[in-house]
Amino acid sequence: MTLWEDKISSAQLWRPNETILLVTNPKLVAHSNKLRPMPPRIGLDYSSLVDVDPEFSDATWLRDWVANRVKQEAVYIPFPEGIWDAKEAVNGPVRALFTLAEVDEFARSDPPTDFTGKLSLIILGMDLLNLYREKKICCIVCCGVPLYANQPTATCKNCIKQQRLVPNPRIMGTLADETGCIAQGKLIWIW
């Protein structure tokens, strides 16, 4: 939706993935340029009404759905500092090679205990080309909104700050060993 003139200031408090808009009588803008086809867009007309953060059951359901979707599609989860020592894992006296089943068993049997080791995995697929076409090779979350680009930096459209991006975890497909597999996008990347 595009806002013009005096309507722009009303959108300053709207937050992506938080603000719910109920648009009554919207205008559908269909482009008729055959040389450069564009998808239709929703716009506002003189008879359009916009209710910001309405209070009724469908709006509450939509808020919950968006919150769950944002949680499920986390783009980049930073690894907590102070939990895993990369230098100790590489150069330490004990370097263990685990299978996915052993990691799962160990994590479930004693959740508060930290352990470090290596996994020998087979990459069953890479999604580099599709992510490149969608301009999603690198990503980060800024202002609660996923930010994608094919470069290592991008500007957030909400706060207008330059952000350093990390490789998209969805580049790697399913990772497997002889005991199990990890689905695409379920890893926490350390950068």
User: Residue 42: its pLDDT value, please?
Assistant: 80
In a domain, 38, yes or no: yes
Mean per-residue pLDDT for 63-89? 66
> Does some domain include residue 50?
yes
Based on the fold, state whether residues 106 and 164 are members of the same structural domain: yes
Give the model's pLDDT for residue 77.
59
User: Based on the domain organization, do 110 and 35 belong to the same domain?
Assistant: no
In a domain, 187, yes or no: no
Compute the average pLDDT of residues 101-110: 84
pLDDT band at 70 (very low <50, low <70, confident <90, very high): low
Q: For residue 78, what pLDDT band results from cuts at 50, 70 and 90?
A: low
Are residues 96 and 59 both part of a single domain? no
pLDDT of 133 reads 93
Query: 44 and 115: one domain?
Result: no
Whether the per-residue pLDDT at 152 is higher than 80: the answer is: yes
pLDDT at residue 91 greater than cutoff 70: no
* Domain count within the chain: 2
* Burial category of 5 from C-beta neighbours within 10 Å (exposed 0-12, middle 13-18, buried 19 and up): exposed
Mean pLDDT of 148-166: 91
The reply to whether 156 falls in a domain is yes
CA–CA separation, 123 and 42 (whole Å)? 42
The answer, yes or no, to whether residue 74 has pLDDT greater than 60, is no
- Residue 175 forms part of a structural domain: yes
The answer to whether position 79 is within a domain reads: no
**Residue range 12-69, pLDDT digits in tens:** 788 777 888 888 888 887 777 667 777 778 877 888 888 888 888 888 888 888 877 7
**Is residue 190 one of the residues assigned to a domain?**
no
CA-to-CA distance for 115 and 82, rounded, in angstroms?
Answer: 13
Indicate the SS3 state at residue 161: coil
Contact 171, 128 (CB under 8 A): yes
pLDDT at 94: 56
Whether 182 contacts 101, CB under 8 Å:
no
Domain region containing 60: 5-72
Q: Please, which pLDDT band fits residue 157 given cuts at 50, 70 and 90?
A: confident
Does 97 map to a domain?
Answer: yes
Residue 154 has pLDDT above 90, yes or no: yes
| Pairing status of strand 118-119 against strand 97-98 | parallel
User: What is the full DSSP assignment across 66-92?
Assistant: HHHHHHHT-S--PPPTTT--HHHHHHS
Q: State whether 14 and 47 are in the same domain.
A: yes
